[in-house]
Amino acid sequence: MITIATWNVNSVKARLENVLDWISSATPDVLLLQELKCMDEAFPFAALEAAGYSCHVHGQKAYNGVALLSRLPVSDVMRGLPGDEADVQARYIEATIDGKIRVASLYLPNGNPVDTEKYPYKLAWMDRLYDRAKTLLGYGMPVVLGGDYNICPTDDDVYDPAGWASDALCRPESRARFRALLHLGYTEAFRAVNKEPNRYSFWDYQAGAWPKDNGLRIDHFLLSPTAADRLESCRIDRAPRGKEKASDHTPVLCQLNIA
């Protein structure tokens, strides 16, 4: 059995104590982090290695940044999403875990405001992710694409569908590209095992969103067919969002029956 968690920590240095506290009890085998907001050399390697994880980082100063932490052997690490050599934003890292499963940590662009260059960038990035996801299906091993997708797949995943309809996270063009990944054969892990609406992984810091449960479900695992066949569970752990100095996201955990 392997447990993979994803968590947008919204600054790994600011949330380090929360991360260390959480992994001491949740003990995921693999932890995918997003929005590190630091360069590689500023990443807290020592503290996380002392907690039992090898750390593989694709950082960026002040913005973005992704990491893949593992208690299991890691090989063939790839940093950056293929398809645009001019794209310098640190949003994607991928590796093989224990020689058995290919895992990626991704931080998909937000895309707002939609009337700026940020939205075309989001859609183009999703097109590149589609190409990579399609390529990975030929790898001959289970594939897990986990992270902050900045997409509410359906109206069941946003507290106010009408109010968010024109937002980049909910626009039909965004959702269509997310569905295209599913049409390749990927399974969205949480919805495969939990059909209940209004289950969220993100609550804004503004307007009392957390106590009002005005949330969004934007952190997802997409599983290739051979990974989906091994899916045991997928759940959202709300507890870290209620702590002091919390990230605005909370962890999502996926368990696969892979020996």
- Tell which residue, 168, 173, 175, has the closest CA to residue 154: 175
Phi, psi of 8 (to 5 degrees): -80, 110
Distance CA 220, CA 254 (A): 10
Tokens (6 digits) for 34:
């997003």
The one catalytic residue in 53, 92, 107, 149 is 107
CA atoms of 87 and 83, how far apart (whole Å): 9
Contact of 92 with 81, CB cutoff 8 Å: yes
Q: Based on the residue annotation, tell me whether 107 is a catalytic residue of this protein.
A: yes
The span from the CA of 249 to the CA of 9, in Å, is 7
Strands (E), the chain: 2-8, 30-34, 54-58, 66-70, 74-79, 92-97, 101-107, 143-148, 187-188, 202-203, 215-216, 219-223, 231-236, 252-256
- String of DSSP letters for 44-95: -HHHHHHTT-EEEEE--SSS--EEEEESS-EEEEEES-TT-TT-----EEEE
Asked about 148 being catalytic, the answer comes back as yes
Q: Rounded to an integer, what distance in angstroms lies between the CA atom of residue 127 and that of residue 181?
A: 9
Cα(49)–Cα(51) distance, rounded to whole angstroms? 5
Catalytic residue list? 107, 148
